[in-house]
Chains A and B, each alone.
Chain A
């Protein structure tokens, strides 16, 4: 399985702030499912954040994607092993961040 980004162990819970009130959260997430961020995982993410009023970005290097857009996230070309920065802004940002991180950790429960 190809590993796209740096091999060094990442600090996966980097800049978490005090929960629930925080309006802006940045956290590193790791793509763990075998086929990377293809259509199904991206649709799972999009569904999870669709009703969140704030902004949710996934960042790879200098490329940002709107997590509400499947097409935008797909174009990050994130394969298994890619590290992304998750940036959430808005009321309840921490909860949303946790929920998305859990999706990444579970491999989106979609991959075969």
Chain B
């Protein structure tokens, strides 16, 4: 029995056999090599090339024997490609002259070459970019020293163990058989966490290195409440896990019953609670848990589990599913927030330069960079708006000019629809995410030009504190309770109040009970959370008075250390929950 502790990011307890996802899912963490290690690294790379070639040869023989020489020829071509001097020399040069790690060099060169093929304008060659991606994956896998993974066809329940999961990989897993996630890296706002929430399965991330201790098939217990993962548990632990699972489920039922009513504080101030969703079917989860609409629909997930570009019809169908679930409640559709850690396969060419993705071409910048793709989405939103209370929200706005540009595109689209006589609603409320410090600083000006603000705490924290949220090395700098974050949120809430527009918080932070009284005290009037947190947060707010919330906010604002604020908020929320438990 082996016990590991990590960060609990999605509640519940599950036990099932382990399935270890291969290291070809890995993101690359080590980017450079020491000059004195160059020769050893090149030797490691050459060995990976030899092993990749040997593997391709096996495939070639196999394919020729089973399917004929014509198919074998394709693998023969792959074999030549794997030995292509242009590619190999460039990779070796990156390692020896620029001290890139072999992994980074392989990615850089093969992605560049794939881009070249795609840009030649010959559809036949464009398809061949896939062959380079295959080669890239093969080399990366051999560099990591692991064998090929068979395709992920699940037939029985498993718990997925991995170094890290990207959104597209997570989205491709069949939720029917996936009982929980446990990953070596990641934090509370990693996409493994967000998606585990969406799939409503337990997840623990940030466990540190442990995969080398697991061979797959062992029984694993993932406790998404206390953050523990037990590998090969003894009989006693399994019994306890099953009991915990039952308790959790019954508690959920009780909260869900209470959650059907609208949400008021103990002194009768209305605090609407909305749900965050990634996929249209989650709108139903939100409604079942008492959410009063959708506060954040992350539409980019429409791009994440497919290989072709979604059409306007695809967008429209997805939005309609959500709107029909909440026909008379607000549905806030956020336009595409692609890039950084969310890069769909069919758009890899857009994001060729990985130098600094969090500060690079992502989110609204991608939409404004390629307005045709943007317009497809906007058309679908305005068309779906006819059937409900749809609002549109632009992500990652950093300047007034950018906001005006996005609004101008929206106006164009409305005019086009008008001219073509297509039913649509052109005058829907337009809001923006406040998640870049520049937008927070300019909030009074922005408030004159939008119908609402929504504070995205995940990015706001990362940009305000200059700590990449996906980089575990700086995890301790990514601190939700930092006084600078509190002050920024207050600035935005004040600007919204002055301009009489609404302000919502939609980041992971407001699914965490300890921050909820603080937000309400700071003047935030509505919250948007992961669906499964809705019942718990509603319950908490029922036991909170606005006066108490205000006191908590004032006290917290006087503190100057994140640790101090964190401790204080935790103590306050414990007191609140204790009073709520007494009433039962």
Contacts and interface: CB of A to CB of B under 8 A. Distances in A.
Interface of A: 35-36, 38-40, 42-43, 46-47, 50, 66, 68-72, 74-75, 77, 79, 110, 112
Given A36-B122, A39-B128, A66-B86, A71 B77 contact: no
Nearest to A76: B120
Contact of B84 (A38, A40, A70): A70
Nearest to B125: A38
A50 B81 CA distance: 12
Given A66-B85, A66-B86, A69-B86, A39 B76 contact: no
Interface string B69-95: 010011011011101111100000000
A46 B113 CA distance: 17
Given A39-B131, A40-B73, A40-B74, A75 B85 contact: no
Contacts of A112: 70
A70 B125 contact: no
A34 B332 CA distance: 51
Given A42-B80, A74-B128, 12 more contacts: A38-B125, A38-B128, A39-B77, A39-B128, A39-B131, A40-B77, A42-B77, A43-B81, A69-B84, A70-B80, A70-B81, A75-B120
Contacts of A40: 73-74, 77
A38 B120 CA distance: 11
Contacts, number: 62
Given A36-B122, A39-B77, A110-B73, A71 B84 contact: yes
Nearest to B82: A70
A82 to B, nearest CB: 12
Given A77-B122, A110-B73, A39 B81 contact: yes
Nearest to B89: A69
A75 B131 CA distance: 15
Given A43-B77, A47-B80, A72 B128 contact: no
B461 to A, nearest CB: 42
Contacts of A68: 84-85
A112 B79 CA distance: 20
Given A38-B124, A77-B122, A43 B80 contact: yes
A71 B73 contact: no
B561 interface: no
A74 B85 CA distance: 13
A66 B282 CA distance: 54
Contacts of B124: 35-36, 38
A40 B74 CA distance: 7
B117 A74 contact: yes
B3 interface: no
Contacts of B131: 39
A37 B122 CA distance: 11
Contacts of A71: 81, 84, 86-87, 113, 116
A77 B87 CA distance: 18
A72 B70 CA distance: 24
B420 to A, nearest CB: 35
A64 to B, nearest CB: 12
B245 to A, nearest CB: 52
Given A43-B81, A71-B113, A77 B120 contact: yes
24 contacts: A35-B124, A36-B122, A38-B125, A39-B125, A40-B73, A40-B77, A42-B77, A42-B80, A43-B76, A43-B77, A46-B84, A47-B76, A47-B80, A69-B85, A70-B77, A70-B81, A71-B81, A72-B86, A74-B120, A74-B125, A74-B128, A75-B116, A77-B121, A77-B122
B196 to A, nearest CB: 40
B126 to A, nearest CB: 10
